[in-house]
Structures are given as structure tokens and as C-alpha cells.
Amino acid sequence: MNFERLEREYSNLAKLFSEEGFDREPSKFEGSVFVKFVNYGFERQIITSRLEEEIASVDSLAKSIFSDISQGKKINEDRLNEIVMTQAKIRLDLTDFYTYTRIFLDTLTVSIKLSFKSVGNKKWNLMENSVKCLLNEKKLRTYKKEIDSDFFEGLEEKVTWIRGFKNYRDGLTHRFSYLVFSNTRKGDLGYDIMDKTKEKWGRDTVKGVLKELQNIIDNLTDLIEYLSKNLPRKT
């Protein structure tokens, strides 16, 4: 996975928040928002590194098992058990990725709110503390009208991907959904989240794990870049 652009834009926004005093505010709320923002950098690194290693391990184990089968050898049960265990780790780390990224999106939403507060916008408190408010058309119309039309007009297109992301996250953490694995058409490890609305799964429905995470990271980077360039500034 490629994080070069994310790390650059993440650093730019962290610098902006520091310059605007988010790390020095006397309010514990502002301070905790800055800490959560910084912490996501470490959380993302830990989780994605684990996933890359685990997926490489599953791929290696599967090739070894298929090689034994093609040669008429008895299947090694230890390797089968290791695949099952590693897939359990992937399920946990994927859930963590969605959970901590969702927390980060809420943190970005509060950061937007605080940025308008810091420059003296009297309607800053109209915003809520969850990213859900940025996905609500009625609330966005209010923000455009009452806070900053240009800013929220541009932001709207940067958050559209979060709806699909949120559905997957909710399926993993709130609903009675379960995660299944299957190889994609390209042969890499893929996943799908099953619930009562989806009866079939396989190569046509699964998303490549690392490819899907890269898509999320790229969309998140676009959002962070927009904020670092367009958030109001005191200085």
C-alpha cells in the first residue's frame, strides 16, 4: 500500500491545527481532538502493517497447501489451522481499521467546527460532533447558508465516499453481519460483508482487501488535503 500522499497531507493538516492552537487550547475538548487526530497516524500504521503481513501469510500458506494437493500429498492440518487463525486476525484488524477510521472522521468533523469557532464564526455551534452531519443533505444546506457556502459546497463532494464506508463499518460493528473471504478475479484475497439483504458472495462481489483499503486511504487523503487548503485560519 502507498501512504506517501496521505502522510504528506496528514502532516500539513496537523501543522495547521498546531499553528491555530488546537494543541494549546485550555478546553480539554479541543485538546483531546488534537490528540485523537495525531493518534490516528499511529493507529493506521499499526493496523495496515498487520494486514499486509497477514494477507501475505495467508497467500503463502494457501499456495503451499495447493502445491501439496497438486502433488497428491496429504493436506497439512497445521497449515490449514494457521490459515483459519490468520483470517481471524484479518477480521479483527479490518474491523479495527473501519472503527478507528470512523473515529478519525468524527475527529475531522469536530476539527472543522472548531476551526470556524477559532476565527469567530458565530454559527460554528450549528455543527454536530459526528461525520453523519456532513452526510445529511438538510444539515449541509444549513451549514452552507449559515456558516460558509463555498467551504461546505466544496466539502460535499469530498465526503460522498463515506456513505459506503459507513455501511461497511456499521455492518461489522452494529448489525448481525459477518465477514467472508474469497479470492477476487485477480486472485488476491478479498472480503465481503454479509447480511440479510445479500444472499450470494464470491468473486463477483468481494473487494480486494488491500485494494479497498487503498481506495479508502486515497479518499481520506483527498478530504484531508481539502481541509488543509480550505479551512479558515486565524493567522
* Cell reading at 9: 497531507
Q: Give the pLDDT of residue 73.
A: 77
Per-residue pLDDT of 96-137, as tens digits, reads 999 999 999 999 999 999 899 989 999 999 999 999 999 999
* Cell reading at 163: 456513505
CA–CA gap between residue 211 and residue 213 (Å, rounded): 5
Average pLDDT over the chain, rounded to whole?
87
**Long-range CB contacts for residues 58-65, cutoff 8 Å, separation at least 24:** 58/83, 58/86, 58/87, 58/90, 58/189, 59/188, 59/189, 61/86
- Grid look-up 493567522 returns 235
- 5: Cα separation from own chain's centroid: 15
- 166: Cα separation from own chain's centroid: 9
Per-residue pLDDT of 174-186, as tens digits, reads 665 677 778 887 8
Q: Are 208 and 187 in contact (CB under 8 A)?
A: no
Contacts of 47 (CB under 8 A, 6+ apart): 93, 96, 97, 100
| Residue 69 vs residues 56, 72, 73, 76, 77: alpha-carbon distances, Å | 20, 5, 6, 10, 12
CA–CA gap between residue 57 and residue 53 (Å, rounded): 6
Q: What is the pTM of this model?
A: 0.88
pLDDT at 234 over 90: no
Per-residue pLDDT of 178-221, as tens digits, reads 777 788 878 788 888 776 566 666 666 788 889 999 999 999 99
Q: Give the pLDDT of residue 203.
A: 62
Per-residue pLDDT of 4-16, as tens digits, reads 999 999 999 999 9
How would residue 158 be classed by pLDDT, with cut points 50, 70 and 90? very high
Q: What is the mean pLDDT of residues 28-38?
A: 77
